[in-house]
Amino acid sequence: MEMQHINVKLLVREAQSVDLEPLIPVFHSWIENQNGDELLIDVADYTHVPAGPGVVLIGHEGNYSVDNTGNRLGVRYNRKESLDGSNQDRLAQAARAALSAFQRLETEPRLGGKLLFNGKDVEIFVNDRLLAPNNAATRDALDADFQLFSRKLFRGKPYSISYGEDPRSLFTAFVKAAQPLPIGELLEALA
Amino acid sequence: MKVSNSSWAERLAGKIPESLGREIDNFETEIALRKQGKLDERLFAETRLRRGAYGQRYDNGQRHNGKTVQQLRYPSGELTKGPNTMWDAPGMQRIKIPAGGLNADQLETLADLAEEYSDGIAHVTTRQDFQLHYVHIEDTPTVMRRLAAAGITTREACGNSVRNVTACPYSGVCPDEKFDVTPYSRALSKFLLGHPDTQNFGRKFKHSFSGCSQHACGLASMHDMGMVAVTKIENGKEKRGFEVSVGGGLGAVPYQAKLFDSFVPPEELLPLAQAISRVFARLGEKKNRSRARIKFLVQDLGIEKFKELVLEERKTLTEDPRWTEFIPAAETFEEAPLRPGGKAPLLGSESFQRWVKTNTRAQKQDGYTVATIALPLGDITAAQLRSLADIARRFTRETIRSTVEQNIVLRWISQSDLAELHKALEAAGLGASGAGSIVDIAACPGTDTCKLGISSSRGLAAELRKRLNEKNFQLDDSVVKLHIKISGCFNSCGQHHVADLGFYGVSRKMSGYAVPHFQVVLGGEWEHNGASYGLPVIAIPSKNIPEVVSRLTDRYAANRKDGESFKDFIGRTGKVELKKMLEDLARPPADPSDRSFFQDWGDPRQYTIADIGTGECAGEVVSSVEFDLAAAERELFEAQVALEDRETEQAGTKAYGSMVRAAKALVKIESSNIADDPALIVREFRARFYDTQKFFDPFAGGKFAHYLFSAQEKSGQPYTPDSARYLIDEAQLFIDAAHSCYNRISAPAPV
């Protein structure tokens, strides 16, 4: 089964201490600098919506956000354009994009060191209900992909995977490492 | 662009009504043709607009980052989806919701689409539509198919067509209505959708239905064709009908609709709409877009002549069974509750009591309530849409409506269920109180996503909402009931003219810098279907608008007479006093190094870079043009005061004088010794600024210059209260455009 339009969300540590407003100028400066492979276009502020998408950096190939959907605050990458390669390639691309963005945000002085990865929680969504409806068949078909990817990401260290239940939701894998790992190590694992 | 696009057509085969399916297939073919260069970009632009696929800010590939204009290099290169509209630039998809009526499945479809093709948010508009932003043009046919399979169309949601037919969201349950207008509005919407007589308009056409004349919910007075339910006794039996008005509309210069007929029976409603469509298509302006709405045709012809033409046209129509076949079902149409009616609980938490007070209203059916879900800035997440679908199924027979106040209402809630409903809404983040109050601010997209936005209407709305919520419990009851509406530009999508406190975005230069401003519009009326329109009082920098709100509401709370409405208070206070109260807020900041003043709400970029880096003493640089434009504004203000004092002739003369003064300010840039002769000034203005297109607004073109030319042509004629009022609005827009023109020509070229 082909996965496309993969979203990866990395949950933050101490979400209650994070103020999303300072992200707006940060994302604007990312657009100004355009220092990546992707075209960055606009910033959408949804901080007024409870448990919403937060602040979204709109791009052509993908969106970046600090997203509070489900009251789980995290840095999210939403791949919009399709990608060639295998499911593993696409999972790695989305994870690298999310991890790199989070790494920049962790060290961004305007955020005062308050936006930090919790080191454990990685949520993976397939943002296409036709390709990957949220049901048992998809789970059976994709579980091996998620296991393989998680082993690689966490370098063989213990982790667990659970899947979202609501058939109306996007197909979602909740991957949790047993021990926290820094972003740098996770990026190295995917290099 | 989604990989699965090509598979959706097959997946949904048989689930889409044939006519809609064919339309979407055609659109997909047109997309392919445009990509191959076989379809002209202008033609493609109109065809996508008629399917609701709209452009968005930065779709010309340029974005001002606060320092310079930055090129956004979209991968599709030079391919466009309209003039100056890059193919890959994200766009907005508008979705028509006739009468705002939705069911739970449709909410779930909107949720899926918001998540998969947009940014996770669906937005309710001031005309009961939904909008998804940041959608790729090549995803739109799939979006349309999935909507069509759920019984929703985007056809004619934009473009020169019949737009969403709106209706009071309380129709059928409001104690004050004459009868339920829902089935009539749906019949009209269905009849006119794709009708051959509605395909050749010069501009859009908007219809609205209201069940009564006293409330605002239908806003019939500000529509191209507004219907208000009325009844009369005929042969001892009550007969339904509609008071029909035509030629209303907001836009840059708002017009109140004129009464066409005080009683149109249901069997004549559709043919009348058809005949009006034909007259509009035949005689409405086609070339000059700024004069192409039907309000100008009605104004130019006069309502009597217009009516005569329509009634003649009516006689020529061939009988159509659709005119009447809906009527028997309409007369017996009634929604049903899911649960037995009950009694409202007397106890509950403080937040529940507050919510009951502001967000619920008793239905005319005993034991039932309408509950309003107040959406901040009209936004709702995909997850919330799904929760709302569950809630609607649990408590109602999916009787859901969107509203022109950018909210959603659930009808037929048993009063016994209110506490449980509130609990469920709170769990979904949808239980906020304050619906319809001063914190429930309506705002168009403004500079966030709209190509025409001048100031950040949503940014201002969010800031006001935050501040007013903080002191909500200390606000006087009279203040809590006020309405704030904000538009990002003069086009009135935020309906600022019919608010108690209205604002629309303009730009001004201060201390040599461009500064986002809002015109403060006061004196409008939301009730009685938006029965009167406010007028601009003064332009204030965006960052000072919260203080404007504080001052005006504090003064109203302290000085209002018993039962005095805000509109009457504004009238009694008078423009001179109001301006005095606010004019210190129009001045530049005391500390010129305070950069925040030169940024808009929610946007950290310098509002424009054109004036940065001029170096020394920017605070003292005020050109003679700026002085002259300020004088034009003063004269216009005097015109407003004269109108308020019923000095119609003086009001018109001064409004025209202010336009000439503003034109002269610009002419003086090139010819400093211009004589004080209006005819000469207008001639010089035309040659130097109109013919050369220097005055042209990037989007409105020469529209505002035409206001001056037209005012000059009519300058010898006597003014009526209506014509003086229109001229004041036009003069304000002309002066705003003169400011913009000056900002453009005095700015250094982009780096």
pLDDT for residue B451 = 83
Work out the minimum CA distance from A33 to partner chain B, whole angstroms.
10
Name chain A contacts of B58, Cβ cutoff 8 Å: 41-42
- Interface mutation target, options A80, A108, A125, A165, chain B, most CBs of B under 10 Å: A80
Q: Which of B119, B136, B465 sits opposite A53 (nearest CB)?
A: B119
pLDDT for residue B610 = 38
Residue B718 has pLDDT above 80, yes or no: yes
Cα dihedral A137, A140, A144, A150 sign = positive
Q: What is the CB neighbour count within 10 angstroms for residue B115?
A: 27
Work out the minimum CA distance from B403 to partner chain A, whole angstroms.
18
Work out the minimum CA distance from B120 to partner chain A, whole angstroms.
7
Residue B617 has pLDDT above 50, yes or no: no
Q: What is the CB neighbour count within 10 angstroms for residue B132?
A: 26
Biggest CA-to-CA distance, chain A: 45
CA dihedral B397, B401, B407, B410 (to 10 degrees): -20
Q: Are B178 and B317 found together in one domain?
A: yes
Q: Which residue of A has its CA nearest to B61?
A: A41
B508: which strand partners?
Answer: B515
Q: Are B245 and B380 found together in one domain?
A: no
For the residues B250-263, what does the mean pLDDT come to? Answer: 91
**Domain boundaries in chain A?**
6-190
pLDDT for residue B624 = 66
ipTM for the assembly: 0.98
- Give the number of C-alpha atoms closer than 13 A to the C-alpha of residue A49, restricted to the C-beta side: 29
Tell me whether residue B344 is in a domain.
Answer: no
Q: Is B33 helix (H, G, I), strand (E, B) or coil?
A: helix
Interhelix angle for B266-283 vs B303-316, to 10°? Answer: 110
Q: What is the CB neighbour count within 10 angstroms for residue B527?
A: 16
Q: Are B189 and B311 found together in one domain?
A: yes
Tell me whether residue B583 is in a domain.
Answer: no
Q: Which of B11, B116, B379 sits opposite A49 (nearest CB)?
A: B379
Q: Are B442 and B423 found together in one domain?
A: no
- Angle at CA of residue B279, ends B277 and B281, nearest 5°: 65
Cβ <8 Å between B429 and A70: no
Question: Closest Cα partner for B505 from B435, B570, B450?
Answer: B450
d(CA A97, CA A101): 6
Work out the minimum CA distance from B728 to partner chain A, whole angstroms.
36
Work out the minimum CA distance from B2 to partner chain A, whole angstroms.
7
Tokens representing B453? Answer: 């936005």
Q: What is the number of domains present in chain B? A: 5
User: What's the pLDDT tens digit per position in B282-298?
Assistant: 999 987 877 899 999 99
- Give the number of C-alpha atoms closer than 13 A to the C-alpha of residue B217, restricted to the C-beta side: 29
Round the CA-based radius of gyration of chain B to a whole number and report it: 26
Of the three residues B368, B392, B427, the one that is the final residue of a domain is B427
Of the three residues B427, B462, B494, the one that is the final residue of a domain is B427
Name chain B contacts of A28, Cβ cutoff 8 Å: 65-66, 603-605
Work out the minimum CA distance from A24 to partner chain B, whole angstroms.
7
pLDDT for residue B634 = 77
Tokens representing B223? Answer: 């529509």
Residue B566 has pLDDT above 90, yes or no: yes
Q: How confident is the model at residue B747 (pLDDT cuts 50, 70, 90)?
A: low
Tell me whether residue B345 is in a domain.
Answer: no
Work out the minimum CA distance from A119 to partner chain B, whole angstroms.
26
Name chain B contacts of A42, Cβ cutoff 8 Å: 57-58, 63, 90, 134, 449
Q: Are B422 and B457 found together in one domain?
A: no
Cβ <8 Å between A82 and B1: yes
Q: How confident is the model at residue B748 (pLDDT cuts 50, 70, 90)?
A: low
pLDDT for residue B614 = 28
User: What's the pLDDT tens digit per position in A38-51?
Assistant: 999 999 999 999 99
For the residues B244-255, what does the mean pLDDT come to? Answer: 90
Lowest average pLDDT, out of B276-280, B511-515, B622-626, goes to B622-626
Which CATH number do you get for residue B494?
A: 3.30.413.10
Q: Enter the pTM of the model.
A: 0.89
Q: Which of A5, A70, A168 sits opposite B2 (nearest CB)?
A: A5
Cβ <8 Å between A53 and B57: no
Name chain A contacts of B449, Cβ cutoff 8 Å: 42, 44
pLDDT for residue B611 = 26
Q: Which residue of A has its CA nearest to B142?
A: A130
Q: Which residue of B has its CA nearest to A126?
A: B116
Amino acid identity, position A145:
D
DSSP letter for B532, please. Answer: B
Which CATH number do you get for residue B744?
A: 1.20.120.330
pLDDT for residue B620 = 29
Please state, for a pLDDT cut of 70, what percent of chain B lies above it: 96
Of the three residues B149, B166, B187, the one that is the final residue of a domain is B149
Residue B616 has pLDDT above 70, yes or no: no
- Distances in whole angstroms, Cα of residue A73 to Cα of each of A5, A10, A70, A170, B602: 20, 8, 8, 17, 21
pLDDT for residue A128 = 97
Name chain B contacts of A46, Cβ cutoff 8 Å: 119-121, 379, 381
Cβ within 8 Å of residue B738, ≥6 positions away: B629, B632, B662, B663, B665, B666, B695
Residue A150 has pLDDT above 90, yes or no: yes
Tokens representing B727? Answer: 């001229």
DSSP chain A: ----SEEEEEEESSGGG--STTHHHHHHHHHHH--SSS-EEEEEEETTSTTS-EEEEEESSEEEEEE-GGG--EEEEEE-S---S-HHHHHHHHHHHHHHHHHHHHT-GGGTT---EEEEEEEEEE--TTTS-SSHHHHHHHHHHHHHHHHHHTTT--EEEEE---TTSPEEEEEEESS---HHHHHHHH-
Q: Which residue of A has its CA nearest to B463?
A: A48
Q: Are B245 and B136 found together in one domain?
A: no
Residue B621 has pLDDT above 50, yes or no: no
Question: Closest Cα partner for B543 from B610, B580, B596?
Answer: B596
Work out the minimum CA distance from B466 to partner chain A, whole angstroms.
9
- Distances in whole angstroms, Cα of residue B227 to Cα of each of B238, B269, B712: 18, 9, 36
Cβ within 8 Å of residue B750, ≥6 positions away: B68, B69
Cβ <8 Å between B112 and A129: yes
Interhelix angle for B624-644 vs B721-746, to 10°? Answer: 170
Binding-site residues on chain A for chain B (CB distance < 8 A): 2, 4-5, 24-25, 28, 31-32, 34, 39, 41-42, 44-53, 56, 58, 60, 63, 65, 67, 69-70, 80-82, 127-131, 166, 168, 170
Please state, for a pLDDT cut of 90, what percent of chain B lies above it: 72
Tokens 């992200």 locate to A23
Name chain B contacts of A34, Cβ cutoff 8 Å: 70
Could you tell me if A143 and A180 are in contact, meaning their C-beta atoms sit under 8 angstroms apart?
no
Could you tell me if B160 and B204 are in contact, meaning their C-beta atoms sit under 8 angstroms apart?
yes
Could you tell me if B454 and B507 are in contact, meaning their C-beta atoms sit under 8 angstroms apart?
yes
Q: Are B34 and B95 found together in one domain?
A: yes
Tokens 């901080």 locate to A47
- Distances in whole angstroms, Cα of residue B345 to Cα of each of A33, A44, B356, B363, B373: 57, 40, 10, 16, 19
Q: Is B506 helix (H, G, I), strand (E, B) or coil?
A: strand
Q: Are B263 and B398 found together in one domain?
A: no
Tokens representing B316? Answer: 């020529």
Q: Is B395 helix (H, G, I), strand (E, B) or coil?
A: helix
Q: Are B127 and B180 found together in one domain?
A: no
Annotate A97-107 with b (16+ C-beta within 10 A) or e (fewer).
bbbbbbbbbbe
Name chain A contacts of B429, Cβ cutoff 8 Å: 49-51
d(CA B43, CA B48): 9
Tokens representing B29? Answer: 């073919």
Where do the DSSP E strands lie in B23-105? Answer: 53-54, 62-64, 69-71, 80-82, 85-86, 91-95, 101-102
Cβ <8 Å between B121 and A48: no
pLDDT for residue B689 = 94
What are φ and ψ of residue B172, in 5° steps? 95, -20
Tell me whether residue B76 is in a domain.
Answer: yes
For the residues A134-142, what does the mean pLDDT come to? Answer: 97
Work out the minimum CA distance from A160 to partner chain B, whole angstroms.
25
Name chain B contacts of A80, Cβ cutoff 8 Å: 1, 136
Q: How confident is the model at residue B608 (pLDDT cuts 50, 70, 90)?
A: low
For the residues B639-646, what does the mean pLDDT come to? Answer: 88
State which residues form the domain around B420.
Answer: 350-427
Cβ <8 Å between A58 and B112: no
Tell me whether residue B338 is in a domain.
Answer: no
Cβ <8 Å between A82 and B11: no
Q: Are B193 and B101 found together in one domain?
A: no
Cβ <8 Å between A31 and B63: yes
Tokens 């009001």 locate to B651
